[in-house]
Chain A
Amino acid sequence: MIAYLIRRILYAIPILIGVNLLTFALFFVVNTPDDMARMQLGMKRVTPEAIEKWKQQRGYDKPLLINSAATGTDTFTDTIFWQKSASMFVFDFGYSDDGRSIGREIATRMGPSLAIALPTFLVGLLVYVSFALLMTLFRATALDIVGVALCVVLMSISGLFYIIGGQFLISKLWHLVPISGYAGGADGFKFVVLPIVVGIIGGIGSSSRWYRTIFLEEIGKDYVRTARAKGLSELRVLFTHVLKNAMIPILTGVVVVIPLLFMGSLLTESFFGIPGLGSYTIDAINAQDFSVVRAMVFLGSVLYIVGLILTDVSYTVVDPRVRLS
């Protein structure tokens, strides 16, 4: 187990190097720092001095890969690649355009992101699985057909509609909770409740339908027939046998997103004014703050790979037959 984990973590390193090289190519090779400077300073009437100053402030005035002017190891370390890209491996993200430490921003913004994303994930999972089990229990009846039809309609509606509609109905018309904002501690409850509800409703269509397909596939198997032959009630069959055996396909899709919960949701956070990582990213995209976007891309891939490893570990927990080696 431990050896397996170590090997998986080692295997992650080349992938992260790939991600790093890709972002480096995307941000510095496709467009030179000069292009970025010109874009940020305005296209016309920009002096070469202004470009130089912009680059110097951000540390972009170095050569890309090899600094022939320097000596010794500086030939490789005093370059944009080393200082801007390679440094991310030790989670040194540098500074955003407004001069703040990106690492510290990430640390403080994780809390609000989690306050929304974690409840949405947990309650959502419960709702989706229950709904799917209900449809499976009443399979091939009118209730099932209506449920599936409802799922198809719900998944055909844009996620933006749920957010805008929820804000309009609950906050503007009924004045139940504030439209947007955030507060820490117990005061925060009234701010987070609407984003969570909207998030859950937004996912109900595709997720419940997906789980229903998984359950239906399980229910056709032999062990279910055996369980029924033993005289178990249908409910018992569903909850103790089908649900347990459906855990592997469910976990495959679910565990991998757990680490990504830290990143928050771009849409929800920006609509509801939650000061989390999602709104941080969106602000950076709108302000064309390249260093923040680069940091978030790297962080996102690290979390995704952590999710993949967690998925493998979770298999051993739910299925004793799975041995990691």
Chain B
Amino acid sequence: MSFIPVILWSDALVFLLIAACITATLYVRKREHLLLPWRRVAQSSMAMVSLLVLSLFLLVGLLDTLHFRIALPQSNNGEKVYSPEVLSVFDKVVEPLRTHTEKTYSAPFALTLYAKESMTDAQGNIVREYPRLRFGGAHLADEAARDGDIAKRASVGALMGLLAGGVLMLLVRRWFAQTAVLVTILIAGTLIGAIANLSTAYHVLGTDKVGADVLYLSLKSIRTGLIIGTVTTLVTLPLALFLGVAAGYFRGWVDDVIQYIYTVLSSIPSVLLIAAAVLMMQVTIDTHPEWFTTSASRADLRLVFLCLILGMTSWTGLCRLLRGETLKLREMEYIQAAQSFGVSSMRILTRHIMPNVMHIILIALVMDFSGLVLAEAVLSYVGVGVDPSMISFGTMINGARLEMGREPMVWWALAAAFSFMLVLVLAANLFADAVRDAFDPRLNRTEAK
């Protein structure tokens, strides 16, 4: 099977981010004073457990970032034709989840559709019955055998997962000695094993309106959430860093201009600014359909723009913090010593000021993450979020919200989206707290009391 790799804009940004992370890790590894706060983070078992959960999400997100298009069997005058559908490695890993689509809603572990349909029975009469699902539990001849089958599959899967978790635990126990981390590995292994084994035969979290598996949708939403949470801060980081440090260091008219810019931006309520910018972006995208070869690249560009717009509204806070810190630093003796030695401003900024504001940037990065993931859902509801064709927590909630009034209620899509979001955001919040405690010198003092 031949394919062509596709690098979407957001993929490129993610690769850039990974490269930056690797470079930073290599740089920090050699320097004991930079490593010290990270050691403090590593000592907190709460932080390590949340990091473990986060890295599971990251793994899904990364696999979902490697995109490609499959070649179609027919060719156009010897030239290969590629499918317009952009798939990812993750789609291939969970192929059954993606392809096992039903007709419409079905409850978790259900064997039949949610609504009755007219069918012809064995005698040729037309009856209204709940039709069996095409994939969910299709291997069962007798519907009564379902519970036993579920229990059997779950326990087999859980056992396999437990074994895999145990092996992994033995492998990593040299570095992660905390009991809580090891227990989390076992629990995660068991859960993933059970769910993975069950999801080959059932829809563990049910199906949505068009019959797509909700578990698949939830897993796909992770990438969107992660990108919104990380790329947003990253794209505007250079701007905030440069302007904030420049305003604090040079003062005078530079400071006035930069302060004016961020006061103007921050005086517009952020939801309204985002809404206005997204509306305008929509017009631009709609008037230029020739920019996009696939619908995925179109949705993706919208995601990147959304990150940029979100970043534009949130960089002002970081910029103000950096300006304040630089104002403080520039009065320090070592900066004055550098100035009297005739070191150029550029060099003072890059060598002496920027390394000393890095902790503020890091704290801002991790603290903003969870807020941005939550904001995505709200913005998609308002209608200024990601493209409706892009799978995200926001679009999932938005689609499921309208079905609340049904009787019996369609609750599973909402429950799945909210639970996945809760786990992701909670882990991010706990990890962010640990990072802040380790890096913020001021906070350490108060915590110690």
Question: Which A residues have a C-beta under 8 Å from some C-beta of B?
Answer: 14-15, 18-19, 22-23, 26-27, 30-31, 35-36, 38-39, 43, 152-153, 155-161, 164, 167-168, 172, 216-217, 220, 260, 263, 266-267, 270, 281-282, 285-286, 288, 290, 293-294, 296-297, 300-301, 304-305, 308
Q: Is B384 part of the binding interface, using a Cβ–Cβ cutoff of 8 Å?
A: yes
- A153: chain B residues at CB < 8 Å are 426
Known interface pairs A18-B260, A22-B264, A159-B374; A293-B276 also in contact (CB < 8 Å)? yes
- A308: chain B residues at CB < 8 Å are 267
- B276: chain A residues at CB < 8 Å are 23, 26-27, 293-294, 297
- The minimal Cβ–Cβ distance linking B315 to chain A, given in whole angstroms, is 15
Which of A152, A160, A161, A282 interacts with B430 by CB under 8 Å?
A152
Q: Is B17 part of the binding interface, using a Cβ–Cβ cutoff of 8 Å?
A: no
Specify the chain A residue showing the minimal Cβ separation from B415. A161
A164 touches B264 (CB 8 A): no
A293 touches B279 (CB 8 A): yes
Category for how many chain B residues contact A: 35 or more
A31 touches B283 (CB 8 A): yes
Other 4 A-B pairs with CB < 8 A, given A159-B374, A263-B269: A22-B265, A38-B287, A152-B429, A294-B276
Known interface pairs A152-B426, A157-B418; A39-B260 also in contact (CB < 8 Å)? no
Specify the chain B residue showing the minimal Cβ separation from A219. B449
- The minimal Cβ–Cβ distance linking B399 to chain A, given in whole angstroms, is 13
- B264: chain A residues at CB < 8 Å are 15, 18-19, 22
A290 touches B279 (CB 8 A): yes
In the bound complex, how far is the Cα of B378 from the Cα of A290, in angstroms?
21
In the bound complex, how far is the Cα of B397 from the Cα of A164, in angstroms?
10
Q: List 28 A-B contacts (CB under 8 A).
A: A15-B267, A18-B263, A19-B268, A22-B265, A26-B276, A27-B280, A31-B280, A38-B287, A39-B286, A39-B287, A156-B370, A157-B418, A158-B377, A158-B393, A164-B414, A220-B446, A263-B269, A266-B382, A281-B272, A281-B275, A282-B383, A285-B383, A293-B275, A293-B279, A300-B268, A301-B267, A305-B267, A308-B267
B382 touches A282 (CB 8 A): yes
- B268: chain A residues at CB < 8 Å are 19, 22, 297, 300-301, 304
B277 touches A220 (CB 8 A): no
B378 touches A160 (CB 8 A): yes
- Per-residue A-contact encoding for B62-79, CB less than 8 Å = 1, 0 else: 000000000000000000
Interface residues of B in 399-419 (CB under 8 A from A): 401, 404, 414, 418
- B283: chain A residues at CB < 8 Å are 31, 35-36, 39
In the bound complex, how far is the Cα of B267 from the Cα of A273, in angstroms?
28
Known interface pairs A22-B264, A286-B383, A300-B268; A156-B286 also in contact (CB < 8 Å)? no
- The minimal Cβ–Cβ distance linking A31 to chain B, given in whole angstroms, is 4
Specify the chain A residue showing the minimal Cβ separation from B449. A220
In the bound complex, how far is the Cα of B404 from the Cα of A263, in angstroms?
28
Specify the chain B residue showing the minimal Cβ separation from A220. B449
- B446: chain A residues at CB < 8 Å are 216-217, 220
B378 touches A164 (CB 8 A): no
CB-based closest 5 A-B pairs? A18-B264, A300-B269, A156-B426, A156-B425, A301-B267
- Per-residue A-contact encoding for B251-274, CB less than 8 Å = 1, 0 else: 000000000110111011101110
Interface residues of B in 354-400 (CB under 8 A from A): 370, 374, 377-378, 381-384, 393, 397
